[in-house]
Amino acid sequence: MIKTQKNIGLAFGLLGLVILSLNIMYSFENVPLFFSLCFLSMTLGGILYFNALYGATLSGIHNNGVWFNALTAKGLWGWILGLVLTSFYIAIYWFPELLGYRTETASVGLVAFFDPLSVLLNGKLATQWFMYGTLYTFAILLFGIKFIWKYRSNPYQIFRTLSVVFFQLCFAFLLPELLSKLNPEMPYFSKDIKNMWPLNYYFFDAWHLEGMLNGKSIGQFFLIFGLLMIFVISPLLTYRFGKRWYCSWVCGCGGLAETAGDPFRQLSSKKISVWKLERWMIHFVLVFVFITTIAVVWSFLGTQPELSLVTKERFILGVVVLLLLILLSLFIKHKNGFPKDAKYTLISVVSILLASIGLHYFSGQQNIFFFETYTFQKWYGFGIGAAFSGVLGVGFYPLLGSRVWCRFGCPMAALLGLQQRLFSRFRITTNGGQCISCGNCSTYCEMGIDVRAYAQRGSNIVRSSCVGCGICSAVCPRGVLKLENGPLENRITNPTFPLGNTL
Residues interacting with another protein, by CB under 8 A?
Answer: 58-60, 62-69, 73, 153-156, 158-159, 270-272, 429, 431-434, 436-440, 442-443, 452-453, 456, 470, 473-474, 477-479, 482-483, 496-503
Min separation Cβ 115 and another protein, Å? 42
Q: Specify whether the CB–CB gap between 357 and 365 falls below 8 A.
A: no
Closer to another protein at the Cβ: 335 or 340?
340
> What number of CA atoms fall less than 13 Å from residue 228's CA on the CB side?
9
Least gap, CB of 161 to another protein (angstroms): 12
- Please, what is the minimum distance in Å from the beta carbon of residue 452 to another protein? 6
Torsion-angle region of 484 (φ positive above 0: left; ψ -120 to 50: alpha; else: beta): beta
CB of 338 to another protein, least distance (A): 22
Least distance CB 413 / another protein (angstroms): 21
Residue 467 φ/ψ, nearest 5 degrees: -95, 5
CA angle 198, 147, 475 (to 5 degrees): 95
Q: Specify the residue, 78 or 411, whose C-beta has the smaller distance to another protein.
A: 78
Phi, psi (degrees; rounded to nearest 5) at 364: -110, -165
d(CA 367, CA 204): 16
Closest CA to 406 of 232, 164, 223: 164
For another protein, which is the closer residue by CB, 2 or 224? 2
Nearest CB to another protein, comparing residues 93 and 156: 156
Name the β-bridge partners of 426: 485
Q: Which is nearer to another protein, 166 or 371 (CB)?
A: 166
Residue (163 or 190) nearer to another protein, CB: 163
Query: 67 or 94: whose CB is closer to another protein?
Result: 67
Q: Residue 170 CB, nearest distance to another protein (Å)?
A: 22
Q: Least distance (Å) from another protein to the CB of residue 456?
A: 6
Q: How far is the CB of 250 from another protein (least distance, A)?
A: 16
Q: How far apart are CA 292 and CA 95, in angstroms?
A: 27
Q: Which is nearer to another protein, 211 or 458 (CB)?
A: 458
Per the CB < 8 A criterion, the answer to whether 324 and 388 are in contact is no
In angstroms, give the least distance from the CB of 499 to another protein: 5
Q: What share of the chain is helix, strand, coil (3-state, %, to 5)?
A: 65, 5, 35
Residues facing residue 428 across a β-bridge = 461, 483
CB atoms inside a 10 Å sphere around CB 160: 23
> How are beta strands 481-485 and 426-430 bridged, if at all?
antiparallel
Min separation Cβ 276 and another protein, Å:
12
HEC profile for 292-346? HHHHHHHHHHHCCCCCCCCCHHHHHHHHHHHHHHHHHHHHHHCCCCCCHHHHHHH
| Torsion of Cα atoms, 53 then 58 then 62 then 65, to 10° | -50
| Residue 88 near residue 403 (C-beta atoms within 8 A) | no
Inter-residue long-range contacts of 124-127, CB under 8 Å, 24+ positions, other chains counted = 124/180, 127/101
Q: Of 103 and 490, which CB lies nearer to another protein in the complex structure?
A: 490
Report d(CA 155, CA 159) in Å as an integer.
6
Residue 309 DSSP class: S
Q: For another protein, which is the closer residue by CB, 169 or 453?
A: 453
